[in-house]
Homo-oligomer: A and B are copies of this chain.
Amino acid sequence: MQEFDLIHRYFDWAPTNPEVVLAGGDDAAILAPPPGRQVVIATDMLIAGRHFPESTAPDAIAHKALAVNLSDLAAMGATPLGFTLSLGLPETDEAWLERFSGGLRAAADRWGCNLVGGDTVRSPQLTLSITAFGSVASGTAIRRDGARAGDRLAVTGTVGDAALGLIVALQPDQVPAELPEADRAYLLDRLDRPEPRLATGQALCGQAAGLDISDGLLQDLGHMLDASGLSAEIDLDAIPLSSAARHWLDAQPAAIDQMLGGGDDYELLLALPPGLALDPAWGLTVIGRLDDAGPVGAIRERSGRPLTAQRGYDHFGEEGA
């Protein structure tokens, strides 16, 4: 199959977003964000066997590749607009492309984010590079350097599921024997199908600081503290956990380290000013408070015990997850 045929067959979708003026078929795409809005841009490259297990279903790969980028947009409070996809393929496997394309389209439609351009090339290893665009009212983006002493620290969803899901996928002999099959499936799904917290990010534009949890709760909290010049106290008992994660911890309490240090949660970690009333629709759990009591970047438990940031996923460190 020629490249043009491949694109036409699997990736040629008419744009549905009125801000997308031209998508595909020319040298470049054209977007027209409305007046008063800035353009927000996130990019991530994913490689099979490194960012997702080789056994991952094609539609889940598509979902995740788009979701991790949209999670970055969510973390800025942006509304998705479109994305480009560069796809390095080891071979032209039509059954794989069919399922990948279907998954990508479902994800794109769900989040209102149009495919506006891309590139397909031969590559020895399956490689995806997505760049996603959104827009935000000028000056209201959620930034990691805008937290203040006294802000509450909050997270969306539950923390640590993806780190446990990775163990299910790659080291099944490390999973507690008594963990029910439904819990394993749930944790795998959390690894494969992260949910970008777009609505919560958009609701908090201009009212919060923060970022998304991609490297692990403690490491990403460290990033916010470093950028904002603060320290933090967190209440480990307040961290929201799924029932699957609770079952795992009942059998293996030490797994909490992996859950707080492991990446791929794609939940939002937000600093909320004291006066802000929390809307239950945002799905937030308060887990601590920011202060300037300790050295910049320091994280303490409520008891005062220092918490060392477990190193999250680092593609260039000696030990990867």
Binding site for B on A (CB under 8 A): 1-6, 21-22, 25-33, 35, 38-47, 50-51, 71-73, 75-76, 78, 82, 84, 86-88, 92, 116-125, 127, 129, 131, 133-134, 136, 138, 141, 143-145, 211-212, 227, 314-317
**In the complex, what's the smallest C-beta–C-beta distance from A71 to chain B, in angstroms?**
8
In the bound complex, CA of A28 to CA of B212 (Å): 11
CB pair A27–B42 under 8 Å, yes or no, is yes
Number of this chain's copies in the assembly equals: 2
Do A45 and B138 contact each other (CB < 8 Å), given the known contacts A75-B27, A314-B2?
no
In the bound complex, CA of A134 to CA of B44 (Å): 20
CB pair A21–B45 under 8 Å, yes or no, is no
CB pair A28–B72 under 8 Å, yes or no, is yes
CB pair A32–B39 under 8 Å, yes or no, is yes
Residue of B nearest to A4 (CB): B314
Q: A82, A92, A314: which has the most chain B beta carbons within 10 Å?
A: A314
In the bound complex, CA of A125 to CA of B84 (Å): 21
Do A122 and B315 contact each other (CB < 8 Å), given the known contacts A33-B39, A129-B129?
yes
Residue of B nearest to A7 (CB): B316
